[in-house]
Structure 1
């Protein structure tokens, strides 16, 4: 009986299915988008940062199950938040974000985040090859800069969507080319009632499920496991009953 129970448990491990293929379990988060937030923290952005914080919150709200990375820049870039699905902890970081002190406006580079973004995208594609990568750029276009503006060079087909959003006067001439380099649309913030207008609809990817299962047919493993458990209980009952009889026999002989 125990041998039969063992055989049933071994077969159940392979999840046999009646009338179709076995269920396929997807890794949690494999299809949710990876979102890269590029934020200009130069002095020119100081009056716009409250709006930027609200706009980033709107993006997070639109994609509650996404992974997020945040790269900020002035003359140089900084990876303020590595790619992570912990958007709950990202919100305080966004709320505390401030502009860099005035005095370096002439060296602000609208493309300073290019290299960091490129390698972040390469890493995301390797880790989550089936997930779309979205890039949202929030900037003022370095209106007081006197240095040549660096161009973004992203891996081919690595960016599936997003937007470049310009704040303040003078952003458009610099940031429209940035949008073209990233392959996303450019929008002036003053033309939008809400940043939601520039945010694509959430990707349909089974968001919110720890393990999304797709099954065709009727799975038999649970029935086999149940029968095996019943056989084991019967065998255990027999063993206990035999043990009790043996002990009673010893007591009688001892008398």
Structure 2
């Protein structure tokens, strides 16, 4: 029953553990407290045990998580579909992001910012290297998007055969077209995250077919003109680089950003281009469809009263601590051994 909701209108209980288990835990302690209360002398001891018994009962109530129905929660919803394209070629791990980090670290950080900027939007994730891949169809499950990015690794180095920075053009157009057909009232955005390095012999494909399906978006570029070395990728989910660097002859290969190519993609899509640097957040456009704040589920939501029960518990514990503190001097006087020669102390002649 833990995690379930029990409604005693208008009171609602959401126990953190099963009530029978809670009873089994509290009953022995309550028995000891009641026994001590009955055997305690009147005055301070009885008051102290009464406070402790009350504190135990309040703890039990706190574990039941009481609340009342009728609260309202506000949720933000962005009526927008957002497609994120991420470069997963070997160059995306070139170590020229920040303090020698791979470019992929910047990509992950910026995707987090994109998710935060458009609460309630639907997100799709497309990755591309030698082939494009729809990693995540349109969904509001941002946890799934984060998980997909967390385990994202570039293509295996030994399997790389050159890649085109425009290879995902058709998949992007298909995803946007499908979204437009199923939800024409929603706006559509696309974010392209890559370094613009074309390693295929052919010219990059054009993204122009997607422009008419887009309301906004951006192309974000990663890397430097000085470039960075790339670790070999050995494959496997979450597998790090193989330890060595990709070689160009006998020297480590260096990947540099191609901003002209990225600007060409931005022009095709009709969106702005921005070169990303670690110390600044990306400039993200406003959602074409306004972000709205809505009151949700006024009849079914619960106002949690645990904070009030916790305050009562703190007051009972404080009162008991105060009683113990006032009794402490008397206890110390009784416990302190009588000094030799002090009034009332037995003399040596009295011994025996």
**TM bucket normalised to smaller:** 0.5 to 0.7
* Residues 40, 74 of structure 1: 8 Å contact kept: yes
CA deviations 1:168-215 (Å, max 9, x no partner) are: 1332121111001111001111397112x2x1134424255669xxxx
**Could you tell me which residue of structure 2 aligns to residue 40 of structure 1?**
87
Where in structure 1 are there 5+ consecutive unaligned residues?
1-27, 212-255
**Could you tell me which residue of structure 2 aligns to residue 55 of structure 1?**
110
CA change 1:34–1:208 in 2 (3 A) is farther
Q: d(CA) in 2 for partners of 1:86 and 1:124?
A: 16
Instruction: State the structure with more CA Rg.
Output: 2
CA change 1:126–1:166 in 2 (3 A) is same
After the TM superposition, list the runs of 4 or more consecutive aligned residues in structure 1 that deviate by more than 3 angstroms. Answer: 28-31, 103-106, 207-211
* Residues 167, 205 of structure 2: 8 Å contact kept: yes
* Residues 118, 291 of structure 2: 8 Å contact kept: no
CA RMSD of aligned residues (A): 2.5
How far the C-alpha of 1:133 sits from its partner, in A, is: 0.6
| Bigger strand fraction | 2
| In the alignment, structure 1 residue 95 sits paired with structure 2 residue 150 | yes
| Bigger helix fraction | 1
Of the three residues 260, 269, 280, the one matched with 1:182 is 269
Where in structure 2 are there 5+ consecutive unaligned residues?
1-74, 94-101, 224-255, 298-352
* Residues 77, 293 of structure 2: 8 Å contact kept: no
CA deviations 1:191-241 (Å, max 9, x no partner) are: 97112x2x1134424255669xxxxxxxxxxxxxxxxxxxxxxxxxxxxxx
Q: Which stretch of structure 1 is more off in the superposition, 186-195 or 171-180?
A: 186-195
**Could you tell me which residue of structure 1 aligns to residue 286 of structure 2?**
201
Q: Relative contact order, CA 8 A, sep 6+: which one is greater? A: 1
* Residues 31, 205 of structure 1: 8 Å contact kept: yes
| In the alignment, structure 1 residue 70 sits paired with structure 2 residue 125 | yes
Name the count of aligned residue pairs: 182
Of the three residues 148, 151, 173, the one matched with 1:118 is 173
